[in-house]
Amino acid sequence: MAEIAASALDVLAIAAHRDDVEQTCGGTLLKMAQRGHRTGILDLTQGEMGTRGTAEERAREADAAANILQVSWRQALDIPDGRVENTWENRLKVARVLREQRPRTVILPYWLGRHPDHYTASTLGYEACFLAGLAKLDLPGAPHRPFKIIYATLYYDVRPTFVVDITEQFEARLQSLLAYHSQFADQQAGKDIFPAAAEIRARVEAMARFYGMLGGVTYAEPFLQKEVGLVEDVTAIPVKSI
């Protein structure tokens, strides 16, 4: 799914590893696609350092997951897995994609977390969004910056700015994650790190229910935005206060 999109993407999710997007914002991407938006995923690495599976296996699984989430475009860069660094070279790699795909909204990982690849991907992605808009930057394509950058916060314990109702998309989101059979099937490698297959649904559902509770729905995914929100009608703000 690496070909250049025929028209601009409405939403592009950027993450360090294949399966990160499925875990943090897959339901939101599917919901946007079902509403007629063009969505895409940019994985920064091939996943070659993962405890389970090979880069080749994860590439096939990523394609299967992308089909479930109905994304229009997906590509993986060649940044080394386990060594995602915010270098000039890597920023240019991401900026090139941003100019090619021209997304209006970019979803990035939250800028804090356990895995260095995750929080570095956040800063790298933000700075690439800025660079892509510089008219004198020596890259193909016209300058472009996304209108909106939001952060998927599921990997970190922080109160989200807003949540997206994914109640209708929850089952497909779960199936997109389970498409990574190399990662989530029971096996000896990484058994002390990964949850047992029988536990995966319970864990994914518990998290989605928690954030759904915050928004007054069954299942939701959490996000944070840096900007102050703008409201036109204070009588139409969703989510009850008391």
DSSP string, 32-69: HHHTT--EEEEESS--TT-SSS-HHHHHHHHHHHHHHH
What pLDDT was estimated at residue 192? 63
Residues 6+ apart with CB under 8 A from 44: 14, 15, 16, 17, 76, 77, 79, 84, 90, 94, 117, 121, 124
Distance CA 88, CA 92 (A): 6
What pLDDT was estimated at residue 7? 87
What pLDDT was estimated at residue 37? 98
- Which of the 8 DSSP states describes residue 150? E
Q: ∠30-33-34 over CA atoms, to 5°?
A: 85
pLDDT digits (tens, 9 = 90+) for 74-131: 999 999 999 999 999 999 999 999 999 999 999 999 999 999 999 999 999 999 999 9
Q: Tell how far CA 181 is from the center of its chain.
A: 19
Q: Which domains does the chain have, with CATH numbers?
A: 11-236 (3.40.50.10320)
What pLDDT was estimated at residue 183? 72
What pLDDT was estimated at residue 198? 77
Residues of the chain whose pLDDT is less than 50? 2-5, 190
Sign of CA dihedral 38, 17, 183, 58: positive
What pLDDT was estimated at residue 2? 47
